[in-house]
Amino acid sequence: MTPAAIPERNGGQILMQQLRIHGARRVFMIPGESYLPCIDALNEHTDAIEPIVCRQESGAAYMAEAYGKLTGEPGICFVTRGPGATNASIGVHTAFQDSTPMILFVGQVGNDFMEREAFQEIDYRRMFGQMAKWVAQIDRTDRIPEYISRAFAVATSGRPGPVVLALPEDTLWGRARVADLPRYPRVHSHPGAADLARMTQLLDAAERPFLLLGGNGWHQSAIDQIAGFAERFELPVGTAWRRLECFDQRHPNAAGHVGWAMTPALRQRLRDADLVLAVGTRLGEATTEGYTVIESPLPKQKLIHVYPDAAELGRVFSPTQAIVADVASFAAAAAGLAAGHAEPRGQAVRAAHQELVDSLAPLPSPGPMSLDEAAAYVDAHVPADACITVGAGNYALYPHRYRRYAGPGTSLTPTVGSMGYGLPAAISAKLEDRNRTVVCYAGDGCFQMNMQELGVALQYRLGVVVLVFNNGIWGTIRAHQEREFPARPIALSFENPDFTQIIRGYGGHGEAVERTADFGPAFERALAFAQRENLPALLEIRYDANGISPGETLMGIREAALARAAH
């Protein structure tokens, strides 16, 4: 097309057309006057791009981050300048530490007002500099296609992550004749033949190898390929902290969830391993339990570290072998490898899986309402492909322990441990697949950080089921407090509203549950309502705060701390 034939468009029209070309199907947003041309341009793309009007920017950013996890494509979020950007920053921080592709567009004051501390003005390069892969400001209307194409490439290449683009008003209102750029190319990194040969030798020579999976980019065929690889090489398979969807926990090679609060048997199995093959995971603090199970900088086990970004390899751990490859490309390559280990390792695989199966039996808990029993009931009564979302708090350890996750899309949870994530993530999951059962686990404190997003579930008719765990305290912090300052609780409790009344205000179904025997019937009613009415349902689970995590009580933590202090 000749320059004269290119239609003149404003910046908002150019930007939205570019998003469409790059495959954006949904944008999560809080409307703001600072990017009005973008909002208006959505009128031209209602057949391809669905705008989701959220209630607060943190909820919008969380939904976009969850979209990135679910699809592998950048989640798109639009917020206004100043307060909108600061509210959305939690989603950017989550996307960075979770290695999730995401693009946050922020309205900005016009260039003619820049550097005067104009109304809501912030320098976003400085603000987001340490929590995004790339932060930029588009100062020329004719360069919008260039910036958008680069944003998609940066967000998805190497270690995926968030990009932040500021949009000055004069850039969006300005007009230009500029050609659209084609859809961005997805870059994949593949293991070399020499890498695979050396890895095979190390695996064949090992006596107690362990395969640890994590990161983003897993799809069903990649999981199937890595499962076949694990079967041939007789490897127990663990999933890294809050990457529960990376492997089917019902598979006979599954060994469980690796990280904080893992079972003692799994912890010991990792410590005793003579080789760890870590694929897609950064081996962060949570997965390694403070860099103790796998030590930094030099692990006691031989470590083969497979990761899509060379800059991460050798940064925290000194590996025996480092392989630059994304998870899907590695799984495809591993599917063609033949094992040659001399000694059979099947008994260890079977023992590891049996330990996982044994851990699914609910542990005893204080009081008439058992969270262990409730989580086990959910596992047994939702489909294998159901999506379970959680935020942050000790209540999350129950679905982590008792749910057998089955693969891509079955878990949405922030590895960064950010509260308020569960409900927005559940909404994003339901928008992505309205036929999928979606259950959100939320603590009473966690839920109240973003419960206003129930309005999105109401507006878009999304039948999510929310389990609110009401113990009236900041439970995780109380547990830490009892360990460090036993018997001196202060500033950790709060009085809650009646959550069952709140959900009814949003057109949903609500019940309070105080006994284990009542949970199952109430859960079935909530599921049925959500599926029938396409509206949210909520169970407020009131339980004894002493039951702080599976198999552990606050009083037990306190007594152990007092005993240590006495000696």
Q: Which of 103-107, 144-148, 487-491 has the lowest mean pLDDT?
A: 487-491
Confidence of residue 127 (pLDDT cuts 50, 70, 90): confident
Rg (the chain; Cα; Å)? 24
Look at domain 3-176 and name its CATH class. alpha beta
Give rounded-to-5 percent helix, strand, coil for the chain: 45, 15, 40
* Whether the domain at 3-176 and the domain at 193-358 fall into the same CATH topology: yes
CATH number for domain 193-358, candidates 3.40.50.300, 2.60.40.10, 3.90.420.10, 3.40.50.1220? 3.40.50.1220
Percent of the chain with pLDDT over 90: 92
Domain boundaries, given as residue ranges, for the chain: 3-176, 193-358, 361-566
The model's pLDDT over 239-296, given as tens digits with 9 standing for 90+, comes to 999 999 999 999 999 999 999 999 999 999 999 999 999 999 999 999 999 999 999 9
Spatial contact of 247 and 227, defined as CB atoms under 8 Å apart: yes
Which pair of structure tokens corresponds to residue 21? Answer: 């070309």
pTM above 0.85, yes or no: yes
Which pair of structure tokens corresponds to residue 544? Answer: 């004894």
**Fold entry, domain 361-566:** Rossmann fold (3.40.50)
- Identify the three-state secondary structure at position 549: strand
Which pair of structure tokens corresponds to residue 362? Answer: 């609910």
Q: Is the pLDDT reported for residue 217 higher than 60?
A: yes
Q: Which residues face 238 on adjacent strands?
A: 212, 256
Confidence (pLDDT) at 109: 72
Q: Is the pLDDT reported for residue 1 higher than 70?
A: no
Q: Is the pLDDT reported for residue 5 higher than 60?
A: yes
- Identify the three-state secondary structure at position 486: coil
Spatial contact of 85 and 68, defined as CB atoms under 8 Å apart: no
Confidence (pLDDT) at 123: 87
